């Protein structure tokens, strides 16, 4: 968990500090006050583009000097994590661990963070890419090395696409090397996703409570095989399409509402939210078992969209399982959470104890 979080010129926070406790961290305030910005800052302490998926240049405070900083102290070992950008390079992310330069992917070795935001409510009905990114986030929390394989696969694929777009100057040997790299990391990428889907499916199947509907999973869109040979055979088609038409980047996560035996996409909006919340909670428990410590959970405006019974079930499920950051416009939504919670009021880029 985090024992301190510092934001510098991040979104609407010029300079803010927060000292959270070990359990619930509750942020209340009006819409636009900067509550979600705090959660986004925490999400940037892991690989990726954070819970909004925004460009780095959008994160720097508009009235600031350019660039931003997010830093934190991990409670159990006093490790200092920091990330941000400089005004001279607003789209180049920098990372430091205990003040020493480090790679973005190395953050996953220290911290596991999961989140649920209102933008994810229609995850099951939206694009395969969104579900694939969701699955990769779940996988990364279980297998920190997943970020490296994903990054290397994407880099090799981008380079191959560029070569295929200029066939008259493409070096066949370099093209083959890129395809070999895609195959090497793509196989590991797909295998890690499959392990996550299997483990999460089993974790949900083992649950007997009915607080949140259970889901079943199917990993679709890529059946495996000799990827290097497939890419070699597909060069002409891929050149015409401007992209690789086969590989793990084409996978999709299929989700079924078990009780109704129907695709999650056909469920009501409320059912989809409950399914998604059940998945995130089961996955958090799986991470805690696998890694020996629970992940940090970021739940943005979740309580406002749950009925009182399910809200109480959520709080009971989260009690004592680790650090959970939650936001709401009305602090009354957190009334059933015990006095040990850390409560803060966010207003105009300031964070004060509530």
pLDDT of 209: 66
pLDDT of 212: 86
Cβ atoms of residues 122 and 80 within 8 Å: no
CA–CA gap between residue 73 and residue 71 (Å, rounded): 7
pLDDT of 191: 95
Closest CA relative to residue 32, chosen from 351, 353, 347, 354: 347
| Helix residue ranges, H only, the chain | 35-43, 128-142, 146-164, 172-205, 227-233, 235-241, 269-291, 308-318
CA–CA gap between residue 55 and residue 91 (Å, rounded): 7
pLDDT of 170: 79
Closest CA relative to residue 21, chosen from 43, 5, 38, 40: 5
**Tokens matching residue 202:** 């089993």
pLDDT of 210: 67
Tens of pLDDT, residue by residue, the chain (354 residues):
999 999 999 999 999 999 999 999 999 999 999 999 999 999 999 999 999 999 999 999 999 999 999 999 998 778 999 999 999 999 999 999 999 999 999 999 899 999 999 989 889 988 999 999 999 999 999 998 999 999 999 999 999 999 999 887 778 999 999 999 999 999 999 999 999 999 999 998 887 666 788 899 999 988 889 999 999 999 999 999 999 999 999 999 999 998 899 999 998 888 888 899 999 999 999 999 998 889 999 999 998 888 888 899 899 989 988 999 999 999 999 999 988 999 999 998 899 998
Name the one residue in this structure whose structure tokens are 């390079």: 89
pLDDT of 122: 86
Q: Which residues of 181-219 are buried (b: 16+ CB within 10 A; e: fewer)?
A: bbbbbbbbbbebbeebbebbbebbeeeeeebbbbbebeb
Tell me the domains of the chain and their CATH numbers: 123-267 (1.20.1050.90)
């Amino acid at each position: 968990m985090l024992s301190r979080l510092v934001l510098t010129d991040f979104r609407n926070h010029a300079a803010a500090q927060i000292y959270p406790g070990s359990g619930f961290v509750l942020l209340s305030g009006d819409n636009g006050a900067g509550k979600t910005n705090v959660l986004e800052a925490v999400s940037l302490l892991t690989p990726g583009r954070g819970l909004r998926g925004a460009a780095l240049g959008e994160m720097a405070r508009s009235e600031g000097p350019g660039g931003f900083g997010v830093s934190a102290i991990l409670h159990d070992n006093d490790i200092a994590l920091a990330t941000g950008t400089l005004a001279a390079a607003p789209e180049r992310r920098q990372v430091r661990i205990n003040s020493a330069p480090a790679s973005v992917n190395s953050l996953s070795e220290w911290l596991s963070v999961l989140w649920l935001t209102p933008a994810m409510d229609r995850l099951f009905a939206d694009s395969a890419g969104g579900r694939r990114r969701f699955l990769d986030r779940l996988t990364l929390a279980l297998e920190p090395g997943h970020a490296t394989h994903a990054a290397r696969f994407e880099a090799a694929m981008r380079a191959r696409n560029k070569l295929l777009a200029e066939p008259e100057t493409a070096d066949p040997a370099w093209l083959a090397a890129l395809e070999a790299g895609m195959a090497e990391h793509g196989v590991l990428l797909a295998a890690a996703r499959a392990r996550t889907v299997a483990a999460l499916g089993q974790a949900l199947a083992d649950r007997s409570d009915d607080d949140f509907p259970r889901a079943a999973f199917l990993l679709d869109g890529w059946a495996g095989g000799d990827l290097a040979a497939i890419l070699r055979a597909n060069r002409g088609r891929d050149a015409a399409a401007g992209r690789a038409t086969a590989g793990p980047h084409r996978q999709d996560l299929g989700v079924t509402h078990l009780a109704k035996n129907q695709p999650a996409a056909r469920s009501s909006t409320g059912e989809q939210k409950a399914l998604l919340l059940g998945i995130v909670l089961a996955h958090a428990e799986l991470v805690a078992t696998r890694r020996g410590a629970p992940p940090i959970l970021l739940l943005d405006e979740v309580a406002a969209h749950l009925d009182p019974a399910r809200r109480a079930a959520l709080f009971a499920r989260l009690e004592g399982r680790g650090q959970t950051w939650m936001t709401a416009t009305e602090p009354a939504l957190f009334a059933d959470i015990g006095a040990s919670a850390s409560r803060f009021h966010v207003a105009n880029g300031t964070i004060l104890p509530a």
